[in-house]
Amino acid sequence: MTTADAPPAPESHTFEADVAKLLHLMVHSVYSDKDVFLRELISNAADACEKLRYEAIANPALLGDDPKPRITLLTDTENRRLTIQDNGIGMSRDEMIEALGTIARSGTKAFMERIQAAQGGEGAQLIGQFGVGFYSAFMVADRVDVVSRRAGSDEATIWSSDGKGSYTVAPIALDEAPARGTRVVLHLLEDAASYTERYRLERIVKEQSGHVPVPIAIIEKPGAEPQEVADGAALWAKPRSEITPEDYTDFYRSVAGQFDEPALTVHFRAEGRHEYTALAFVPGSTPFDLFDPDRHGRMKLYVKRVFITDEAEILPRYLRFVRGLVDSADLPLNVSREMIQESPLLAAIKKGVTSRILSELEKLVQNDAEAYTKVWEAFGPVLKEGLYEDFERRSTLLGLARFKTTASGGGWRSLKDYVGSLKESQTAIYYVTGTDLARLEASPQLEGFRARGIEVLLLPDAVDSFWVTAGIDYEGKPLKSVTQGAADLALIPLTEAKQELDTNATEAVARFIQSVKETLGASVADVRASERLTESAVCLVASETGMDRQLERLLARAGQLGSAAKPVLEINPRHDLVLALANLGDAEQPLREDAAHLLLDEARILDGELPGDAKAFSQRLTRVMRRGMP
């Protein structure tokens, strides 16, 4: 062979720094259940077969004389090798570099932070949630070779790496590559040699991948006949009576890429004007990228069992945690992505599947309140997005919503529970928003409500500040913020324990409040006596027509607010400090002025803010402390 005829030398590439670190962590740190690698590689192979079926709709020549999809596991005990091969779409050289050389699109940093914190078997639940399934092969192999030939191409490529920082890519002769598809060769570590044993592979396949829609066969040694271990029958196409809970769980794990148990399984067939089958799962644990703004739903779209896309918006964003698929008999097989986006049929499917999932959640509330509570704890903040976005289903979502309240004792309450315990003359459902449940429970604005036994919803999620502004009411009762406008509590009597506090403000207190207003000037919108305070001296609230203070803070941080509105300072006319300040003589005017500013800063601190002017605050505090010294 001449120099000109020699094959090109392999190109060497270095993994991104984050990827190299991630591989080290995966191999050495967290994964106790190494079986997960096989499920991930089989899942990748099944996806490749489904993608070929879809592309072959427009280009049947891609199938050639080999139209049936298959996945084959080939064991070689003597050489300690395990091969996973498919006859799917395959990859070109550039596709291999993009898919296997980088995982930048998979949330590498977030994944590594989670993987470093994980311990024991929890690691098995992490794979699949960040698109790093392929790299799990390095848990059991000291080298991985990937040979691939894209369907319809006359070129084949080999990718090889030891997972320690670099990989090589080189062309390979066609007679050494599959006719099409991908071959993943694992050079197994010594302690992973048992993965060449048929019984172990068959057990793992049946437990974790038995319901992928592609047949799976095992070849025990080179030259032997393949023996089928999974028939590739679509689980969703079977009657529900023929499917066991274990079958559903196995399928959920394969489609969701998780190792937990589904909290809810929804499987139904729609007939009539539109015909389709849906199989959806509510996960039993929270995906780590649930609040990623770029995260989309994980529902796959099939047409007559042919995979079309996993990017169709089958469910609204507030149900993006649901995993599963829809198989339509009515959409054309050659449907394009543009047609999907504009399809009235898909709109009907979206409406039907969304309504069914919410209906099943309502049934779960009735039949297993404890199980539903776990669903709400995992996905409540996301479901509440629907209260703001989905007017059509708002009533249903309000019925599903659960809240911590001042009367819940740490448990969860529904709006039905709340309305059922309204006080006489109470005309609204009261709430307080914030970022921390403990801080909300200690809010001074709640004191007057507690003193009257009025329940208040505690809303610590960011989305709460938005949906409560959407003009929502429940059974005719509007939602009202306890930190906005007047408290309107005069018609509701104090409880017996607080009755002695219900005294009229004296004329001296009224004059003091007026002087505080004059002293603070433009720093506040108003200063007034408070109905809502019973223990604290002061608090800040928004004006009746102003924006809720927590929403105002969120918009300010997001740069969507020009200038914040001036707050209203409420003063407790029955507080010992206020009474003492009100009775000071005219000679103590400087102290009155210092006290006015300090009361405002105290209210700011109670509201989770900093004093308006730290230096002035320190100077005033110093003067007041010196005055109190002998």
Is 601 a known ligand-binding residue? no
Is 443 a known ligand-binding residue? no
Residue 358, phi then psi, degrees to nearest 5: -65, -35
Is 29 a known ligand-binding residue? no
Share of the chain above pLDDT 90, in %: 53
Residue 495, phi then psi, degrees to nearest 5: -70, 165
Phi-psi region of 568 (alpha: psi -120 to 50; beta: other; left: phi over 0): beta
Is 133 a known ligand-binding residue? yes
Reported as a pLDDT band with limits 50, 70 and 90, residue 279 is: very high
Reported as a pLDDT band with limits 50, 70 and 90, residue 126 is: very low
Is 40 a known ligand-binding residue? yes
Reported as a pLDDT band with limits 50, 70 and 90, residue 265 is: very high
How far is the CA of 127 from the CAs of 38, 113, 348, in angstroms? Answer: 12, 14, 34
Q: Is residue 3 predicted with pLDDT exceeding 60?
A: no
Q: Is residue 116 predicted with pLDDT exceeding 70?
A: no
Per DSSP, the residues of 573-630 read: TT-HHHHHHHT--GGGHHHHHHHHHHHHHHHHHHTT---S-HHHHHHHHHHHHHHT--
Q: Is residue 74 within 8 Å of 36, Cβ to Cβ?
A: no
Is 15 a known ligand-binding residue? no
Is 1 a known ligand-binding residue? no
User: What sign does the dihedral 369-375-376-377 (CA atoms) show?
Assistant: positive
Q: Which class would CATH give 504-627?
A: mainly alpha
pLDDT at 603: 93
Is 47 a known ligand-binding residue? no
| Core vs surface per residue 338-366: b (16+ CB within 10 A) or e | eebeebebbeebbebbbebbbebbeebbe
Map out the domains of the chain as residue ranges: 10-231, 236-373, 504-627
CA atoms within 13 A on the CB side of 208: 24
CA atoms within 13 A on the CB side of 352: 21
pLDDT at 297: 64
pLDDT at 80: 96
Q: Is residue 155 predicted with pLDDT exceeding 90?
A: yes
Is 132 a known ligand-binding residue? yes
Q: Which range, of 7-11, 443-447, 520-524, averages the lowest pLDDT?
A: 7-11
How far is the CA of 621 from the CAs of 278, 522, 536, 615, 626, in angstroms? Answer: 66, 21, 18, 10, 9
pLDDT at 495: 72
Q: Which long-range contacts (CB under 8 A, 24 or more apart) does 198-207 make?
A: 198/75, 201/38, 201/73, 201/75, 201/82, 201/229, 202/229, 204/35, 204/38, 204/39, 205/38, 205/42, 205/73, 205/229, 205/230, 206/230, 207/250
pLDDT at 312: 83
Q: Is residue 16 predicted with pLDDT exceeding 70?
A: no
Reported as a pLDDT band with limits 50, 70 and 90, residue 19 is: low
pLDDT in tens, 216-231: 999 998 888 999 998 8
Q: Is residue 494 predicted with pLDDT exceeding 80?
A: no
Residue with tokens 């020549």: 61
pLDDT at 111: 46
Reported as a pLDDT band with limits 50, 70 and 90, residue 309 is: confident
Reported as a pLDDT band with limits 50, 70 and 90, residue 302 is: confident
pLDDT in tens, 323-375: 999 999 888 766 665 567 677 888 899 999 999 999 999 999 999 999 999 99
Q: Is residue 124 predicted with pLDDT exceeding 50?
A: no
First to last CA, the chain: 104
Is 382 a known ligand-binding residue? no
How many other CB atoms are there within 10 angstroms of residue 539's CB atom?
26
Q: Which class would CATH give 236-373?
A: alpha beta
Per DSSP, the residues of 195-235 read: GG-HHHHHHHHHHHSTTSSS-EEEESSTTPPPEEEE----G
Reported as a pLDDT band with limits 50, 70 and 90, residue 390 is: very high
User: To which H or E segment does residue 515 belong?
Assistant: helix 507-520
**Fold designation for 10-231:** Heat Shock Protein 90 (3.30.565)
Is 94 a known ligand-binding residue? no
Phi-psi region of 410 (alpha: psi -120 to 50; beta: other; left: phi over 0): left
Reported as a pLDDT band with limits 50, 70 and 90, residue 125 is: very low
Q: Is residue 130 predicted with pLDDT exceeding 80?
A: no
Is 321 a known ligand-binding residue? no
Pairing of strands 71-76, 473-474: unpaired
Is 208 a known ligand-binding residue? no
Written as six digits, the tokens of 595 are: 């006290």
Share of the chain above pLDDT 70, in %: 85
pLDDT in tens, 410-437: 899 999 999 999 988 899 999 999 888 9
How many other CB atoms are there within 10 angstroms of residue 574's CB atom?
21
Select the more confidently predicted residue: 556 or 267. Answer: 267
Q: Is residue 522 within 8 Å of 566, Cβ to Cβ?
A: yes
Select the more confidently predicted residue: 304 or 232. Answer: 232
Question: What gap in Å lies between CA 148 and CA 86, rounded to an integer?
Answer: 10
pLDDT at 132: 58
Is 339 a known ligand-binding residue? no
pLDDT in tens, 520-574: 999 999 999 988 898 999 999 988 877 777 887 777 776 766 667 889 999 999 8
